[in-house]
Amino acid sequence: MADRIPLALVGIGKIARDQHIPSIAGGDDFVVAAGVSRHGKVEGAENFTDFNAFLAARPDIKVVSLCTPPEVRFDMAKAAIAAGRHVLMEKPPATTLGEAEALSELAAKAGVTLFATWHSRFALGVEPARQWLSDKVIQSVSIVWKEDVRRWHPGQAWIWEPGGFGVFDPGINALSILTEIIPGHIMVETSVLEFPENKKQPIAASIAMRTVEGAPVTAEFDWRQEGPQTWDITVQTNAGELRLSKGGSELYIGGNEQASGPDREYAGIYERFAKLIRSHQSDTDYQPLRIVADSFLCGERKVVAHFED
């Protein structure tokens, strides 16, 4: 425990309790020394309700993990960077590309680590999928990412507000895997975004994209799926089919299972963060956020039925 790096966890909500706290406790690199939240607390740590008060009171804590909604994250990250802290940002890293790119520049100038995390990239099947696809010709990619918002985001009204991303909050997980396993840029051609008549963010999206080489890429996101949930990415190549299922935790090549196992996504995030800090590096790949932004730029808005969550 003495060798662990003290860390402040900011935003003690569902994702912090379900994933960050147990993953930090189960790893060897960090210990939660402080919590910052208006409503939640971390047991066994010093807790603050104001972020700037934390920065002033605990200059000894050099690492900050931001688990807040994205619309408030820029000011916190900027303040932390100015105070010389290393910063981890939950996905999506910021509300806009402008904010994200500004933070990268600020971190580089300050000489601190900035880590824009994409937890789905750490799913068990993603890295072996990337390796297998690295020398293949990509013929097409199909993403089907459908889940029940009532199950996974209960009472989280912020996701329907401007900057809350709507169905792209889970959809960006698929895009993070896509941009990790497919070499080169992915470009948006068209999109259809379905907005419930009482919401400000989309509940579903259909996106047509292409690789630089011209291979078609399609994505279907929907937050209204009841029963079994669907998180699949299927890639057709010159050497056969690759499929990632259950959010990347299962990998099939030619229909044969190649990898499966327990969830270690957030454990992987914190292992990566520790390595970045120790090597004085940052990791700020904003490709998934760019695809979301491009989908809105190219998007046809479609109003659908009233939705209550």
Any idea what the CATH number is for the domain that residue 49 is in?
A: 3.40.50.720
At 262, the pLDDT band (50, 70, 90 cuts) reads confident
At 1, the pLDDT band (50, 70, 90 cuts) reads low
At 104-129, the pLDDT tens digits run: 999 999 999 999 999 999 999 999 99
Sign of CA dihedral 69, 72, 73, 77: negative
pLDDT at 155: 85
Distance of CA 297 to the CA centre of its chain: 21
Please indicate, yes or no, whether residues 104 and 138 belong to a single structural domain of this protein: no
Q: Give the closest residue to 188 by CA, choosing from 219, 165, 162, 164.
A: 219
Sign of CA dihedral 151, 153, 155, 160: negative
At 261, the pLDDT band (50, 70, 90 cuts) reads confident
Q: Give the closest residue to 90 by CA, choosing from 250, 273, 219, 275.
A: 273
> What φ, ψ does residue 2 adopt, rounded to 5°?
-65, -25
Measured between alpha carbons, how far is 237 from 144 in angstroms, rounded to an integer? 18
At 134-161, the pLDDT tens digits run: 999 999 999 999 999 999 988 889 999 9
The reply to whether 268 falls in a domain is: no
At 62-72, the pLDDT tens digits run: 999 999 988 89
Please indicate, yes or no, whether residues 161 and 297 belong to a single structural domain of this protein: yes
Torsion of CA 136, 137, 140, 144, to 10 degrees: 20
Counting the structural domains of the chain, the total is 2
pLDDT at 6: 97
At 78, the pLDDT band (50, 70, 90 cuts) reads very high
The reply to whether 283 falls in a domain is: no
- Report yes or no: 141 and 178 within 8 Å, Cβ to Cβ: yes
- Point out the residues that are catalytic: 91
pLDDT at 198: 96
At 189-202, the pLDDT tens digits run: 999 999 999 999 99
- Which residue among 116, 135, 153 closes a domain? 116
pLDDT at 263: 82
Measured between alpha carbons, how far is 245 from 233 in angstroms, rounded to an integer? 7
Whether 172 has a pLDDT exceeding 70, the answer reads yes
Please report, for the domain that includes residue 199, its CATH number: 3.30.360.10
Please indicate, yes or no, whether residues 54 and 70 belong to a single structural domain of this protein: yes
User: In the chain, helix, strand, coil percent, each to 5?
Assistant: 35, 30, 35
Interval 162-184 mean pLDDT:
96
